[in-house]
Amino acid sequence: MKPVAIIGGGITGLTAAFKLTQVGIPVTLFESTDRVGGVIQTVRDRDYLAECGPNTILETSPLIGELISDLGLEERRIYSSDQAENRYIVRDKRPVKLPRSPLAFLTTPLFSYRAKARLLAEPFIRRAPADVEESLAKFVRRRLGREFLDYAINPFVAGVYSGAPEQLSVREAFPKLHALEQRYGSLILGQVLGARERKRSGNVSKQNAPKFSFDQGLGTLTDALGQRLKEQIRTGQAIGKLIKQNGAWSLGQAGEHSGVLLALPAFRLAEMQVTCESKPISLSMLAGIQYAPVASVVLGFRREDVKHPLDGFGALNPEVEQLNSLGTIFSSSLFPNRAPLGQVLLTSYVGGLRAPHLVSKTPDELCKLVMADLKTVLGVNGEPTYRHVFVHRRAIPQYDIGYGRFKTFMNDLEKSVNGLFFAGHCRDGVSLIDSIISGHEAADRIANHLKKTN
């Protein structure tokens, strides 16, 4: 059997390659850079551990546990501390704990009495027509009110998409939220009744899922996958042309393959030249997918120079607060050994669609912007003892209104072009868990396709 070509060495491509080799299907993975792992990259320096991309994995699906077990990483997995369940939202320039119970919600200063009373009406608000595509902002204003948009949804969207609620499609960006309204007519009722279905399926909602990393950061996962697949990985090889002829896919000097999985960001897919039995197939329309730029600014401080107890996951900054950054993760509070004894580590994010121009600033300028926010919000004084700045010029695809046309385009191509597959964050969701599941499901589709054709 000719091997399957997997183009893209991020977590999606690595997961798909690993699952295929487990069932005896040969693969060759091509990565244009000199390393695999994509946006997952852990930097260890002087007892500081900085994540350049994601910081945690949410254990929402049994598939995650299976992957960790198959890689023999159970002993290296570490769950976040109990205090990491606390999350802060900044209001009036100070961090306020997000309420975690009905009683805490009633007493929190995060929302006004009027906003709390407005929530009582949510179960009685009529659902939107199923064929109407709303922006997330319009959806939230309609069901929950303006204040919840400003101080709950806006900062949450900044943390997930680094995007704009006015542009994101609730159906495409938050399909489970859209489904709750359509099925139950209420988000509150849907949360209660939907919990029973998740329990039966073995899945866990993202808000309740355990968070974990590894003793040496998330790079442990991609490093382990890279080691298992080292004989199948070809780094420094950019594939820009695919030709299918006589039932086989040719990748030029890379030889012939039985199928191709494209696990690339949309802007790379748009540049790919694809020909199937002498007929050109253009992927250029995928260049229309917008990406948010994000800068990750990781700073270390002496513990005594930070007034806030850092007893939580982090603090998100609503746009109405007019701060420089999107929010800050309390990295050394999440997991042990992220900073030297007596030090703390904070990871802040700058840019997004809220302020895309900021990512063009120098590392020194970015640090100054973040320092100003940390001083205001967390009471940070003194100079950083450590810093690491990493800029993602095109970090997160935006599932804006009309995004369904891109997903339909990729799905239709999979159906019409035998042996061509798509996976990754521009097709199946932007979170790390979404990308892992996307790779797993792509491997299943490829295996089923080969079973039918051989």
**Residue 192: is its pLDDT beyond 90?**
no
Query: Are both 173 and 192 inside the same structural domain?
Result: yes
Q: What is the DSSP string of 208-236?
A: TS-EEEETT-THHHHHHHHHHTTTTEEET
Q: How many CA atoms lie within 13 A of 378 on its CB side?
A: 33
Query: Are both 339 and 416 inside the same structural domain?
Result: no
The predicted pLDDT at position 196 comes to 66
The CATH number assigned to the domain holding 359 equals 3.90.660.20
Residue 307 lies in a domain: yes
Q: Which of 160, 153, 137 is nearest to 395 (CA)?
A: 160
Contact assessment for residue 68 and residue 77, using Cβ atoms and an 8 Å cutoff: yes
Reported as a single tens digit per residue, the pLDDT across 241-260 is 999 998 899 998 778 999 99
**Residue 1: is its pLDDT beyond 90?**
no
Residue 64 lies in a domain: no
Q: Which residues on adjacent β-strands are paired with residue 325? A: 350
Query: Are both 323 and 385 inside the same structural domain?
Result: yes
**Span between the terminal Cα atoms of the chain, in Å:** 9
Query: Are both 175 and 116 inside the same structural domain?
Result: yes
The CATH number assigned to the domain holding 193 equals 1.10.3110.10
Residue 233 lies in a domain: yes
Residue 231 lies in a domain: yes
Reading across the β-sheet that carries 241-245, which strands appear in turn? 256-257, 248-250, 241-245, 273-276, 279-282
Query: Are both 300 and 355 inside the same structural domain?
Result: yes
Reported as a single tens digit per residue, the pLDDT across 416-440 is 999 999 999 999 999 999 999 999 9
Residues 6+ apart with CB under 8 A from 175: none
Distance between CA 352 and CA 444 in Å, rounded?
34
Residue 90 lies in a domain: no
Reported as a single tens digit per residue, the pLDDT across 304-325 is 999 999 999 999 999 999 999 9
Query: Are both 308 and 230 inside the same structural domain?
Result: no
Query: Are both 385 and 408 inside the same structural domain?
Result: no
Residue 61 lies in a domain: no
Q: What total number of domains does the chain contain?
A: 3
Residue 45 lies in a domain: no
Average model confidence (pLDDT) across the chain: 94
The pTM is what?
A: 0.93
Reported as a single tens digit per residue, the pLDDT across 371-418 is 999 999 999 999 999 999 999 999 999 999 999 999 999 999 999 999
Query: Are both 258 and 306 inside the same structural domain?
Result: no
Domain with 334, as residue range(s), is: 291-397
Residue 100 lies in a domain: no
The CATH number assigned to the domain holding 282 equals 3.50.50.60
Query: Are both 254 and 314 inside the same structural domain?
Result: no
Tokens encoding 417: 């072009």
